[in-house]
Every structure is written in C-alpha cells, then in structure tokens.
Chains A and B, each alone.
Chain A
C-alpha cells in the first residue's frame, strides 16, 4: 500500500514537469489561433482584437498561472475555437480510442501468445519458420498500408464492413463491431507480431531451463508444462511488452484513427496541434501523461502476480 501511495504521489511532479514543458513548447512555437479565427481577410487590428479577447496578449507567466490555477481546480479550460470545455471534448473522444486500443491489444494477445508458444515449442521446424515469417511480414507493413488493403478487400470489394466511422456500443453491438473490425485488425497486426516474437524468444529461454527438463522427465503433459510452468515464468517480459504496447497504442492509434476516420483522442490531438488550440493540447497531454503513468503502475503491480519473488 505504501508503495502504491508513493507511486501515486510521484505522478504529481511528473505531471507538473509535463505541464510546464508543453505550455512553453506550444507558446514558443510558431502559430497563432487568433490569426486562424480572424480568417483570410482580417486586418492586423482584427487579429489583435481577437488575441486580446482570448487573453493571448498577456505575458506568458500570467497565462501559465491562469491555466495552472484552472487545472488545480479540476478545470482544463475551454477550447479557443469550439468554445466547448476541454474535458467535454476529451470525454467525447475517449470511448473510440479506448475501444480501438483495447480490442487491438486483445486481438494481438489472443493471436500472439499461441503463435509465440507454438513457435517456441516447435523451434527450428517449418511451423516456427512460418510463424516467424508471418511475424516479420506483419511487423514490416505500415498500419496505413494494411488499413487501405483491408478496406479495398473487405469494404470496397466484398462490402462486409464500412470504410470509416465509429459507432458506440450503445448504438448496437453489430454496428459497433462492424465499424471496429478493420481498424482493430490493421492496428493489431504489428502488436501481434511484436508480442509473438517476444513470447517465442522468452519461452525458448525458459524451455531451456533445468526445471523444465526435470518436469519433462517427471512425465508432465506438454500442455501443463507449457502453460503452467513455462508460460508463467516467461510472463514478466511478456507483460512488460503488453504494457509498453498499450502505451504505444495510445500514441500510435492516430494512424488507425486517421485512415478509418475514427473520432478518437489521437485525431483530436493532431487537429488541435494543427490549429494551435492551446487549452485542448495541454489538456490532452496532461490526461495522456496520467494514463501512461497509470499503465506503468499497473504493469509493475502485475509483475508481483506472476513472479512471487517481486515484492514492493
């Protein structure tokens, strides 16, 4: 419990550093939301007037203090473009991103673990070479190439799945899954490959250990040997890879979201950066940083579950 409290308290300085860096980077980089709002035909006076109404003409420390004060009260501010609260804009985008990320990781884990275990078990045979070859191929193809390929095959040609968009689970399971199938597969193949290779190499290492030889000599079934003795001991690096994969997914899902027009956090981030919507970018970075810290914490806690020697 002490460890948990310490880790949670450690989030505060991390988020503070992130907040300062992001604020400075944004405000010191070129671009001005007032110019975009004023439009193509605006005069310098129009732009200055809008900058004033948005408070962008105030000194940077004053702007930062104002924003920090809001954040400390749990208010992430308001988008300078849409006028909507940043928290609301992020909340609108959380569901698609979470579903895409979760199902992508589920897809990757469900296929990668058996593939990795099988490849290790049949090491050196054609099965191993086939699985390793498939993993290399999946790892080498960019997500957008896979995405466009799947769209061509399963949407344009066969008409099974929609080309783009997202439907919430509340709108029905079938539309939900039809809209997510292609994004999940195209985004998941790369993680599946990564995880399968990691599982194979870790399992190979474990399967060479003395206790496995002993267990085999005792006449343990292959299934029991693989799943109960080998896999559990190989789990720590696999869990680490899954944890890293989830963190990578949260930032990498932007490609999937762009190809399939899914209104997730990734696209909100890119759109906000392109139009210099400072409060939204700052809010997203804070929330994402907190999510990263949480994922790392969960990963660390899971180590203890698989390896009793690890205690905090």
Chain B
C-alpha cells in the first residue's frame, strides 16, 4: 500500500511528537488573553488584564451573581447595626492562602484599606468610614461615620479595581507601588517561574483553595477548578491569534477583534460568550480647553454623535451593537434611566451641533483630536468624530499616535481637546463605580470635569440606602450629567469571548474566569 506523501510526512511528524519530552496535559486550558500581563498588582493597576489575573489568584469578600446580585464569597455571615453604621463580617472557616497559612480578618482589613486608597468607589466608601478593625481572627468590623448605601455593592465590585484580598504583609505595600508577592487565596496559583512577560502566563490549581458549596453563578458561588493548569499565551498579531484558535491550538480567545466576530459565529466548533451589559464607548472632551470649557460646546458633541455610525466603524456586527442608548449608567443595568436625555433622543443633529458650538464662542480655532493607531475601537471612534467635526466646519487637527503616547498626552492639561476610550459595563453601571462621571476637578481622570452639584449628587447617591430614593437621585444625577457632559456616550456594544466547543461550564461574566470549566 502506498501512502500519499503528505499523509506519510504528517504521520511521521505527529508520531514523532508523541515521543517528545513534553508530557501531554489534557487538562490544560490555553487562552489567548486580551493583552500582555505586565503588571501583577490589581490594586496599583486597573487594567483589565491585571484584573483578570487577580480573579485567577485572589478571592473577594463578596461577588456578583449572574443577575448582578451581591452574594457572600469569602464571607460567611455579616450583620449591620440598627443605625446602619456598623457592619460586622465573619469569614468562612478553613480559608487559606496559597502558601497554606490561614486567612485572617487582619489580612482583609489591610486589603480593604489598600483598595480604599486607590479605587474610585473605594475612596467613596472610605470617605464614610470612621474605623475598620479586626475583632478576632475571623471577624472584622467597618464602622461608618454616616450611613452608606452600597457597602456590599462596593465590597462585591466586579471590575477594576476589584477589592481582592491579600495577606496583610502584602497589603501593607503602598498602593502606588507594585506588590512583589503573589500569594492569594483564589482558585489558582500564579507560576512566577514560568512567567514570560509578553508571551506566557501560567496558573495551576491552588491545592489550598476552599470553594463555596453553592454552584457557580456569575462571579459568585463555588469556584471549583476542573483543570490542572491554565496558560495564557499572548499572541500580539490578531491574524495569527485567529488562525491558532481555529486550528485548535488555543481553547479560548478572550477578545477577538470586532471584524472576526462574524467568521467565528459561523464556525460550528466555536462558541461565543457575551455578558449582559457589554461596554460603553466614551468621547471625552478636555473641560479645561476652550471651547469645551463651555457646557454648550460639550453638549454640541452629543448632537454630533450617531452611535450606530461609531459602532459600525469599529466593525461590530449589528447583533453586537446595542440600539441607541442614552443611559449614562448602561442600558440594561439597574441604574438605567432616560432622565435628561430627551433633547438628544432624536439622534444626530449636525445643524444643532454647529449652532451650539457657535453659541459657545467657537471661532475656528484648531481642535486637537488625539487619534490612536490602536486599539481598534478607539482608533475608529476618533476617525468618526474627526469626520463629523469637519462636516460642521470645525478646524480639526487629527494627531495620530500610539496608545502609550496618547495616555501621556491626555494626562497633560493643555494641547488636546478630545480623546476616545471605552469601559466595560461593570465599571460604568453606577455613579459609585463610573470614574468618568466624577466631576471633582483635579481629582477626576483626564478631562477634569468640575461641577459641585454633580459631586453633591454622587455623594447623595452613595449615602442613600433606599432603592426608590436612590432611583430618584439617579434621575437627577443623569439630568445634571447631560447638562455638564463629563463625557459623551458613543455607543454600547458587546465584545464576545470565543471558546472551543470542547469546553463546558464557561461562565458568561465579562471576565475570563477559568473555574467551573471542563475540557473534553
């Protein structure tokens, strides 16, 4: 019998591979992460790749389930005093760090303090905290100066910065310095000896992890690990990444670019997972640079935007674009409201945009738009804004640059007028977590909105425990946001995670968590 040459060579290569020195690891998940993990500290650095690393190796006191409800995770029981000022938490028994030592309340207190010094919502919470102390090895208390509505929501915050628990010795690190010790109490252990920054991150099952008994539900429930090892294989070239994924070399493709969604959706061996909220795109004006120091000029930007135009330019198929969304705190979230949005509900109105700019005193000065070459969503959004500004006769200067240069440029208060970015819904859905809704002048992120009334409303929102009253404040707050325009929402979109169909138990939570997954 004669074998065709290709089959013969193929047989030789693969049979030889079977005798190679590398043992086959059937229970290894290979994932193409969204970026290169270069910083290991999820408190110092809020990037999503570092947050995802945090979910692998750390645990949280509370977590959100698939419905967005906050459920206990490391906490066993908790109680709140009648005056709503003292919150006492007791940890589950048997919790251990990955080095085998027990998790204590003192560890949690130190971790919360570090998080509270860094995170947007953590700072809000800690502004209301009078004292936080360990009562004994398993219990600690947060004593508030005044009632604070969303205590549990803050402790169960699902996205950056997530209040991950770390050993006290690690949490003692200055929040602006990177931690050096990656001991955690999460479901996996980080293999520092196998870490090749820019290429590979390896996690193995944490033998000391004690999952909850409830089934996994969103980020809550039992984080039962069903594989031995997870490898993040960073592939910078997206064409190579797609080919490797479709070739079966990779099991999970965390964030395929928008233009790959359609071919992946048509592949029977691939499944797509999308979270409920998706992402929100932001056009951020510089509130310190004329004409955008005038609210009318910022309102003009709203009339400039056709959300569908932006999302189409970014390459998202129709099914992955939300219909026009005017809610600052995400359509589909508990804080969705249409308050204040009526003037803009009709969509793009270039004549009105031009009129408002003139009323703001714009006389043809150069408007600098920071135009990144990547990431693709931000790059496409910048191009659409530039085009629309030109349509209404604005003297636009598009300054092309890489993303790192853009970050440096936008951190300076002069020399630019507009940049674009986006955030996941979990970082936008409430006034407490939405960093770009801050209007506290110099303390706000680049753009520096400054409005005392908006800050009063944010403070009132977090102080309110009653859901009905909080809804009323949300309406008032969003109405004020439409007047001040801290940023312009250029559209809500969904970026799915792709995984191969031999995986089961994948959780659609917007974070590529690797517990509960089985690989056949």
Contacts and interface: CB of A to CB of B under 8 A. Distances in A.
Interface of A: 30-32, 35-47, 49-50, 53, 79, 81-84, 89, 92-93, 148, 151, 155-156, 158-165, 167, 170-175, 178, 258-261, 263, 267-268, 271, 274-277
Given A175-B20, A259-B240, A263-B196, 4 more contacts: A43-B444, A79-B38, A82-B39, A178-B13
Interface stretch (B241-249, B320-328, B344-352, B354-362): B241-249
B160 A156 contact: no
Interface in B180-215: 180, 196-200
Contact of B21 (A170, A260, A277): A170
Interface of B: 6, 9-10, 13, 16-17, 19-22, 36, 38-40, 44-47, 118, 120, 160, 174, 176-178, 180, 196-200, 233-237, 239-241, 243-244, 246-247, 249, 401-405, 407-409, 411, 421, 423, 427, 435-436, 442-445
A155 B198 contact: no
A37 B234 CA distance: 19
Nearest to A258: B237
Contacts of B180: 83
Contact of A171 (B21, B243, B249, B401): B21
8 contacts: A41-B427, A42-B46, A42-B445, A151-B243, A162-B249, A258-B240, A261-B244, A263-B199
A210 B196 CA distance: 58
A39 B160 contact: yes
B442 A151 contact: no
A74 to B, nearest CB: 22
A261 B237 contact: yes
Contacts of A271: 36, 197-198, 236
Contacts of A30: 401, 405, 408-409
A260 B240 contact: yes
A275 B197 CA distance: 13
A113 to B, nearest CB: 26
Nearest to B245: A163
A155 B444 CA distance: 49
Contact of A35 (B38, B40, B234, B411): B411
When A and B form their complex, which 8 residue pairs have the shortest distance between CB atoms, in order from nearest? A172-B20, A263-B199, A41-B435, A172-B21, A39-B46, A81-B38, A32-B408, A163-B244
B178 A83 contact: yes
Question: Chain A CB within 10 Å — which of B17, B20, B403 has the most?
Answer: B20
Nearest to B179: A83
Contact of A174 (B17, B38, B39): B17
Contact of A84 (B160, B197, B237, B403): B197
